[in-house]
Structure 1
Amino acid sequence: MNPPPFPLDPSLWHATAVPAPDCPPLDQDVAVDVAIVGGGYAGLSTALHLAERGVSCVVLEAREPGWGGSGRNGGQVIPGLKYDPNELIAKFGEEAGKALTAFAGSTADTVFDLIAKHGMNVPHVRNGWIQGAHMASMVETAKKRSAEWARLGAPTEYLDKARTTDHLGTDVYLAGWIDKRGGAVQPLSYARELCRAAQKAGAIVHGQSPVQGLAREGGKWKVKTAQGATVTAGKVALCTNGYTGDYYPKLAQTVIAPNSYQVATEPLSDNLRKSILPYGQVTSDTRQLLLYFRLDHEGRLLMGGRGPFREPTDKSDWAHLERVIARLYPAVKDTPIQFRWCGRVAVTRDFLPHLHEPEPGMIVNIGCQGRGIGLESTMGKALAAYLATGDRKALPFPVTPVKTIPFHGLNRAYVAAVVAFYRMSDAGLA
């Protein structure tokens, strides 16, 4: 996939992140137990947990660790999946559904535990995540979701309109629910610190080392990079999500990878900060094309949501988010926008992460679904356990065949049509 014309440089996260770790390009052939393709949360977490098990591994990243979606998301750490606990049980059965629910519920814990364990220099808060109900039919959904998680012991609570308005600082939403396990991180700093932790544990990470070929020879995998150097490994893990290339047949056609657009204001005055999300939560809503927003660690208001599927061409591609800010928080409408950026999200047909094992010794993890910080950090632990032991019980999701999305070549037009439909049906703000 071609890189966007707006690289990390104009991103808020690039401007405020800790310095990048030293990850030189691979310049000579090496042999390890596991080769990991992709230096985002999943690949770096897999490397860290493999190294802690004493398994030798190399991460190959096409640019720098965190360059893709891991350094371009909204920084919200949200536990759970798109499906509620009862839906997971209905879909996978009692035993597997409960195991998946436990996995999904643990994802935020993984992130904050890793930050604490490794002393990561990552601005972060953990005051909870709120989902606001944007229309009357979603009020009951908010009640149901809160109650399902509460029955499992999660610290969740339903919020009526008055309390939702109090927590969010806007009266647009009719109700909501809070999951106190959620929070926020500076996402690029987290990716870079995850990389440092993996390196300290013994993993080797190479940036500027795009993979150009994968081949199995004599029971080993040969992973060839653009500069010609090759990694020989007994096993390979592919963890590339929204920036998946064509190095393995048809893998990129198993997901839709729309751009998620974000803007950030200049730092707000103290008075404005106190009126917006005053208790320090992060939030996203119940729209099909959801809006998500928060304050960053320096007091900027961030607003995110869908935009054009194509790569952005000028500032007008973010104008809808600026209009949303003015509707939600009129007092902020004249505050200048300081940063505009976007990043791709890997979405599967069933809105669940997919695990594939298309050939012996190759495991594929794809489909972050917009909850990649917690989900992919936790998936990395599971992948490492599987790669180290070969026990499929370590994997939270079933291993399925690679199945492409029908007529994938038309996905840009399809996504554009879906975006237009949902904007009409979503009681939109923009």
Structure 2
Amino acid sequence: MTDVTTATTRTGGGERPVSTPAFDVDRIRKDFPILSRELPGGRPLVYLDSGNSSQKPVQVIEAMREHLSMHYGNVGRAMHALGAESTEAYEDARDKVAAFVGAPDRDEIIFTKNASEALNLVAHAFGNPTNSDPRFTLGPGDEIVISEMEHHSNIVPWQMLAARTGATLKWFPVTDEGRLDLSGIEELVTERTKIVSVAHQSNVLGTVNPVDRILARVRQVGALLMLDASQSVPHKPVDVAALGVDFLAFTGHKAVGPSGIGVLWARAELLEAMPPFLGGGEMIEAVWMDRSTYAPAPHKFEAGTPPIVEAVGLGAAVDYLSAVGLDAVARHERELTAYALQALRELPGLKVIGPEDLEDRGGTVSFTLQGVHPHDVGQILDDEFGVAVRVGHHCARPLHLRFGIPATTRASFYLYNTTAEIDALVRGLHHVQKVFA
């Protein structure tokens, strides 16, 4: 899906043509029906909000429609053809996801309803009275470490765990440049630390965090490391075995898949040691009136009827991204990000919150516009230019408090975005400035 073509790149002296291996974005866009629609008033849709939720290709839509219309049955419990077909499709999706993230064992893949549930599942295992494994015992004097740039999904579960157990919650600060401040890592991550949970890539700053350096310290003190990979897995190759972490979570709806399904990957020995998160059908081995025994992972953590059709959709999404190639997706987003960072510099009074270069950053650019509230920016961009961005604190309020701002405007890019759409964003922002001049 790539060839060689001539593209334009913005530089300090304007635009210059460059010959580069091209990402066939026009072909890709044809796979996404929603990108061809017009908004009220005949405005074309410019969708720059994939960090919030991605759009879906026809391949995913059709896979889900086909399963619902021709193969649907409950999984793991129906002794008929539809049940067998549905179970096969559901477990096939698990195989695809395992291969997609480099899981050594397909049974290390747990389907949840989103990344938030995956993070809560892991937090539930710590300090649980039914779990005597010393790696998961947690109480007063023990420590949990997160960071100041986390999404609320990777803050609140650990706050709740600390309140429940009496453990201490600590966090990495963020530098003015929007990177984790690791200068005090030896004082922050200590022999009392049981779990460190950080974003692989920030949903606000675009920052890609240095997993190797954090992991080295985590291993020194005998703690465990979890990554919230919701903003990385959809955008670049991620291999859990190569990363060497203990837990990783991501969500389907940011990866051209459906909402209602997420993924927890964890090392098999940890899943074996962890207690169930929810009780119910299909997560049991045997049940008596006074006790139960539990099925092995992954089913121990998938109580009740799971998100069957959503898993089929996620499997199709994984197929789609694999066919395009995540290396190619990452290169395309890097080019878009470089273009956007340069283009936004022409707007006086615009300040990027986060790294202003391409080193260790992804395709998310958050900014403020002097004298204009982000909510006004977003409304004008949508109403008059059809440009969809996200405004607010992006479920990362502590990070915005750290920078002393209530909200930002965020443009986030994906495989189907183009430099022309970034130009539309910039034109819209120039108009916003004129309105509030």
TM-score by length of 1: 0.24
Larger Rg: 2
TM-score (norm 2): 0.24
Q: Does 1 or 2 have the higher relative contact order (CA < 8 Å, sep 6+)?
A: 1
